[in-house]
Structure 1
Amino acid sequence: MTLLGLVGVGRIGALHAKTLHGLADVEVVVADVQSGRAEALAGNLGVRWAPDIDSLLRTELDALVVATPTGSHAELIERGVAAGVPVFCEKPVAENSAKTLEVIKSVDKYGGRVQIGFQRRFDAGYAAARAEVRAGTLGRVHTLRAQTCDPFPPPAGYIATSGGIFRDCSVHDFDAIRWVTGREVVSVFASGSDRGEAFFAEFGDADTAAAVLQLDDGALAVVTATRYHGAGYAVTLDVQGSRGSVGAGYDDGLPLRPVGESDGDADADGGRGGDGGGGGGGSWPKGPAHAGFLERFRRAYVGELEAFVQFAKGRIENPCPVGDALEALYVAEACDLSRAENRPVTIAEVRR
């Protein structure tokens, strides 16, 4: 039996606790700074709970899962590796690259093993796109298009501490692009707008953003994000090559309504067209639209924790090392600088 401690029982933490409790040969102990929340969740799931984080870390754990707010990630990772247990932590490792480098030094000092939670690596579509690229079936990859669209913005209090749309939202796309292609980002040009709630401008953030990334082999990637995609939650990745193209995320929950296609076009396209009058009444996507990331990536969240258990037991290599999280963060920081100064920025400028 593997004893996993889980710190943080908010929205994602509660999902992780439920997932871990459902895995074979896994026992879960939960804790939170609000002990009442941990006790309530433990009662609902039928798992153990600790009255505080210190008590949890004194338990003879086999591994630790960190699902707390960003500001506590670095400390909890360091405490976990110092205690000699493998750690899973939601992204980001820390608020910025300087602090992330400090965490990496601590991990190296203790010989720690840390997996970061970029769940798209465990999504079937993203994994299939990666396999196509690595097999060479697409030919020379020249263009990628990635999007992350939230149906509505988070609260002002969240935006105040999120780190901005590139670090909080698009960083998933940055990691996915590196992971799928096996290439590094060398430069970015980014922009953003804040036409929504006033708190975006107040905190220096954008509610809608776009970035063009150049990869080290000359390929280009366009990344877009918004907090105002009223049609629903949309996350996709297109990979175009000289011999073929693939797209991840084009399932029946994608909030994308085809318009302007005739019945003949629809038949030729396998039934994905409109209603013949531009009204978008075709058979794809069937819907309903994804409401949010917990629904869209439910299977991926299960997959990454299943992998973490195997990683903690030493059965597989680390599927998402801390260093990969740092590289994605460098891209996000370069985008922040590019947006602020309205110019192209190389990753070398922000690398420490």
Structure 2
Amino acid sequence: MRIGIMGLGRIGSFHAETLAGLDGVDSLVVTDPVAAAVATATERFGATATDSPEALLAAGVDGVVIAAATDAHPDLILAAVRGGIPVFCEKPVARGVEESLEVLRAVEGSGVEVHIGYNRRFDAGFAAARRAVLSGELGDLHTVRSTTLDPAPPPLAYVAVSGGIFRDCGVHDFDIVRWVTGREVVEVYATGGNRGAEYIREAGDVDTASALLTLDDGTIAVISDSRHNARGHDVRLELHGMKDSIAVGLEDRLPLHLDDRVVVRTAAGERTEELGRRSSYTYQLEAFAAHLRRGTPLTLDAADALTTMRLIDDCYRAAGFPVRPRAVLPATA
């Protein structure tokens, strides 16, 4: 197979390395506005360089991976769909609901699959948590907590086009709460603030945000996101039920104190996000490659991702940073 990659930043470069090592992927075709990133990909992976997305789509690729900035996602997805080329696109679909709807309308009836990259659905721990919930092992849930903490803020160029902390960071939390619990959200509270990088405030965003969600069965879910975590990238999920509780993602990077004993302790800043070769990032691309080879169904499409985008937009309306009003969602949201 011949796979195209649009965007060779941090995650795009990682995807290139992953794809280059997958069975059945014979060659890569890449494009990025940064010439140095393209040169690195051609040297490391023997990729073929193109000077534009249009040239890449015309290069005979069997599928395309979109890892460009969020604001470029809709146009790139639509261009691939018009060319009849299956798409794996990094989250989110677009910066807002209207753009996402445009993509969804184009995809529906096209016969072209568009998979959105919510990698936590491919993580063994999160999958086990979902099984525990759906099997009834935990009993009826009453509380869910989902956390995403980044080690440091992204650069201004990224913040300016990301669509905001809920869309480019917290979007994973909103998606995983829905997926693991199998429930939809009917009510949200949200808020956020700035305690760090001034350029995030100037861009109209916040560096720390939280949302309180009510699910359609009455379960309460709390989402917490921040751009600042001295101990590195931290992703956690807790589910508390009437019969049992389960936690996913707790690692030795966070000091845990019990009474006067420190149970776990590591040096602040020692760890950063580790994208291992057999991580959920790898598994999601293996699933995409399997779809290209054998038509294996994909786990998350543009329609499912749109539901999460609507939820995030409701959170922004609820937050009105820094005020804390309430938004009630319609039953079909």
| TM bucket, shorter chain | over 0.9
Matched, 1:102 2:102: yes
Per the alignment, residue 223 of structure 2 pairs with: 223
Whether the 8 Å CA contact 2:231–2:268 is kept in 1: the answer is no
The residue correspondences of 1:192-271 to structure 2 (distance < 5 A) are: 192-252=192-252, 255-261=253-259
The residue correspondences of 1:1-352 to structure 2 (distance < 5 A) are: 2-27=1-26, 28-252=28-252, 255-261=253-259, 274=261, 280=262, 282=263, 284=264, 291-295=271-275, 299-340=279-320, 342-348=324-330
Give the CA deviation at 1:97: 0.4
Label 1:333 to 1:297 Cα distance change in 2 as closer, same or farther (>3 A): farther
**Residue identity in the other structure for 2:281:** Y
Identity of aligned residues (%): 39
Label 1:47 to 1:156 Cα distance change in 2 as closer, same or farther (>3 A): closer
Aligned mates of 1:208, 1:237 — CA distance in 2 = 18
Three-state SS of the structure 2 residue aligned to 1:191 is strand
Give the CA deviation at 1:314: 4.1
Label 1:296 to 1:339 Cα distance change in 2 as closer, same or farther (>3 A): farther
Three-state SS of the structure 1 residue aligned to 2:318 is helix
Gap regions ≥5 residues in structure 1: 263-273, 275-279
Whether the 8 Å CA contact 2:187–2:328 is kept in 1: the answer is yes
Aligned mates of 2:135, 2:152 — CA distance in 1 = 38
**Residue identity in the other structure for 1:237:** L
Whether the 8 Å CA contact 1:330–1:350 is kept in 2: the answer is no
Aligned mates of 1:294, 1:117 — CA distance in 2 = 17
Give the CA deviation at 1:293: 3.9
Whether the 8 Å CA contact 1:33–1:53 is kept in 2: the answer is no
Label 1:296 to 1:306 Cα distance change in 2 as closer, same or farther (>3 A): closer
Aligned mates of 1:66, 1:38 — CA distance in 2 = 15
Number of residue-to-residue matches in the alignment = 330
Give the CA deviation at 1:312: 2.3
Give the CA deviation at 1:131: 1.1
Q: Deviations over 1:57-109 (max 9, x none)?
A: 11222111111111211111111111112110001111100010000011114
Give the CA deviation at 1:350: 11
Over aligned residue pairs, what C-alpha RMSD do you find?
2.2
Give the CA deviation at 1:260: 3.8
Whether the 8 Å CA contact 2:231–2:272 is kept in 1: the answer is no
Give the CA deviation at 1:294: 4.9
Give the CA deviation at 1:288: 8.7
Label 1:175 to 1:261 Cα distance change in 2 as closer, same or farther (>3 A): same
Aligned mates of 1:83, 1:329 — CA distance in 2 = 25
Give the CA deviation at 1:158: 2.2
| TM-score between the two structures when normalised by the length of structure 2 | 0.92
Aligned mates of 2:126, 2:287 — CA distance in 1 = 16
Aligned mates of 1:289, 1:295 — CA distance in 2 = 17
Three-state SS of the structure 2 residue aligned to 1:41 is helix
Aligned mates of 2:277, 2:133 — CA distance in 1 = 22
Q: Which has the larger radius of gyration?
A: 1
Aligned mates of 1:247, 1:290 — CA distance in 2 = 23
Whether the 8 Å CA contact 1:35–1:51 is kept in 2: the answer is no
Aligned mates of 2:278, 2:162 — CA distance in 1 = 22
Whether the 8 Å CA contact 1:239–1:245 is kept in 2: the answer is yes
Give the CA deviation at 1:219: 0.6
Three-state SS of the structure 1 residue aligned to 2:190 is strand
Label 1:339 to 1:298 Cα distance change in 2 as closer, same or farther (>3 A): farther
Aligned mates of 1:349, 1:299 — CA distance in 2 = 35
Label 1:329 to 1:88 Cα distance change in 2 as closer, same or farther (>3 A): same
Give the CA deviation at 1:15: 0.6
Three-state SS of the structure 1 residue aligned to 2:191 is strand
Whether the 8 Å CA contact 2:230–2:269 is kept in 1: the answer is no
Gap regions ≥5 residues in structure 2: none
